[in-house]
Structure 1
Amino acid sequence: MGQTESAFARITPTLSPEIKKLGFPQRFVASFKPSWVNSPALLLSEPGSDPSFIISMTNGRFDEMVLHSGPTKDDAPLANAKPERYRRNYTITLPSSNSSARQELLHFKPGFFRDKIWFEMEVGGEKGCRKERFEWKKSYGSEIRSVGGWSGWKLVRVKNEERNKVVENDPEKVMNQDPEKIMEDTPNEQDGSKSGRDDIVAVWADATMSFLKVGEFQFQGAGATGEFGQVWALMAVLSCMCVWQKYEYEMYMQSMNSNDPYPPPTSVTISWQTFLEYVQSCKNCTGASEDFLIR
């Protein structure tokens, strides 16, 4: 473990000239990179374009992640993320104006109805720095459908008056509340009815019926204007991938503890021979075709 920590500590993210000039893409697709070796990585590409960035994973797909400034692992790191013990939080290291790295925390707080996932950081740049809070919320609303998905996550800018609002996680206290108040504060999972009141700055749509594609990301609202700066954009992207990784890990562990005869492979970046064997096993079990799984 000491060796892994040392390798992580040696990574010093820097803003590439391209990011400083052009910024991060407004919209991108994240897909696993096919590989003959067990070295998982995610390719980030604008729709219809070649990959522009890569996220490497240092010790398997559920461990530390490094966002690189280009499509190969040899490109300089832009940011990196490391899960803390039990994945309660993620430490995300970002580029700083001085030589030292800048670290931010992505917080995960379990809730009775839903988990609370948030980060707080200084944003602004040329217009002046100020500290703001942002929260990832599960969504099935129109903002997810706008990027071709039906379920995913939205990144919401938290209003100042809501920053100190306490989320009640005690089941007994929650059940003693007025049921109408509970329903009012709980998002409608079918139509995302609370989305109209949220200041959405980015969205992530989970991919379906695809073996390699994992999802699609898009900046929206103030997040698409550059108002928060380039470092915030990197935080938004990498925090999104942390959310994806955390819940992928939880689903994987649930499947390994179940009686599912075909649990997910330990790494999606497997050899094509193993991939075809996996497809064949799925065909025998469900009648699915290779085209259905790859699409």
Structure 2
Amino acid sequence: MGRWAPSQSREWHWTWLTRTVPIRRSLTSTEPGSSSSSSTNPTSSWAATKAASNPTAVPPSFTVYSTDDVGGRHYMIGETRSRPPLYAVSLHAGWKGPDVELHSGPSESEPPPLATAKRGSLFGDGATVQLPGPDGGGGMVKEKVDASNDFPYPSYGFAIEVEQGQQREEFRWVHIGMRKGWQLARLSTSEVVAVFDWTTLTKKELYFQFVGHGGTGILGERWAIMAVITAIRAWDRVKRKQASGAV
């Protein structure tokens, strides 16, 4: 299984089979020794060019942080807490609407959502994700997310078009060992293409990073959106189970 070990350079390493990939937690203004300069934050210039180049693009690494004092159902996606948020995230309970809404901008009132995820059945952790279609025509297309029966943490798999829609490939989120870390594996190559973890005490911050070919943009924007919303939903499912004592 995986091994989690902190290093002195603010990088956290997972070992998945024989592979080690780094995830860099975004520095915030409240952390000792943090800096907002581009020399210490490789994504610092990303938001400045987002609106002009691709308004629905996803940054290579980011933090999902709570905007609630209590409850923990409203979140923002941003490079760091100290920078302007990029997208709003809403988490819901019940069957009338989606479990997760990834909004098109930093306001929950901005229609339409960039993507949504809804539990697929009363029993099991599978889901249906709606996100823009591969043809870019503006319509929303449904994609299935399956869940394994592994206890206490199921893995979550999906298939989606990659590399400008030239082919569909399968990917799976897998929990690593006894820690909080998760890795997204590209099953055709066994490569890790994204990772996330979260804070232990508050459970109100998720740290996400694309790695390997996932960080190059070659897999496409639709794949990136799918990776993000399935990660947030997996995180939310774990938090709910922990709150109920099921994990």
Relative to the length of structure 2, the TM-score reads 0.67
Q: Which residue of 2 aligns with 1:105?
A: 144
The answer (yes or no) to whether the contact 2:56–2:104 under 8 Å persists in 1 is no
Letter of the 1:91 partner, please give it.
T
SS of the residue corresponding to residue 236 of structure 1 reads helix
Sort the Cα spacing of 1:254 and 1:151 in 2 relative to 1 into closer, same or farther, 3 A: closer
Equivalence for 1:129: 166
Greater share of helix residues, 1 or 2? Answer: 1
The answer to whether the 8 A contact 1:82-1:90 is kept is yes
Partner of 1:43: 76
Offset at residue 46 of structure 1 (A): 0.5
Contact 1:64 1:81 (C-alpha < 8 Å) held by counterparts: yes
Equivalence for 1:88:
125
User: What stretches of structure 1 of length at least 5 have no aligned partner?
Assistant: 1-15, 142-149, 161-197, 259-295
The answer to whether the aligner puts 1:72 opposite 2:107 as a matched pair is yes
Are the counterparts in 1 of residues 66 and 72 from structure 2 also a CA contact under 8 Å?
A: no
Pairs aligned (count): 191
- Structure 1 CA distance, aligned partners of 2:243 and 2:152? 21
1:19/1:230 contact within 8 Å kept: no
| Equivalent of residue 227 in structure 1, options 218, 221, 243 | 218
* Cα-to-partner distance string for 1:50-83 (whole Å, 9 max, x where unaligned): 21111113447x9621101211111231001111
TM alignment of 1:20-39, pairs within 5 A: 20=54, 23-34=57-68
State the match for 1:159 in structure 2. 188
Give me the whole-angstrom Cα distance separating, in 1, the residues matched to 2:52 and 2:141.
20
Partner amino acid, structure 2, of 1:86: F
Contact 1:20 1:230 in 2 (8 A): no
Asked if residue 55 in structure 1 is aligned to residue 94 in structure 2, the reply is no
The amino acid across from 1:209 in the alignment is L
Give, as a single letter, the amino acid of the residue that structure 1 aligns with 2:197.
A
State the alpha-carbon separation in 2 of the partners of residues 233 and 138 from structure 1.
19
CA RMSD of aligned residues (A): 3.0
Amino acid in structure 2 at the alignment position of 1:88? D
Higher strand share: 2
C-alpha separation between the residues in 1 aligned to 2:51 and 2:220? 14
* Higher Rg: 1
Structure with the greater relative contact order (CA < 8 A, sep ≥ 6): 1 or 2?
Answer: 1
1:230 deviates by 0.6
2:76 and 2:151 map into 1 onto residues whose CA distance is 35
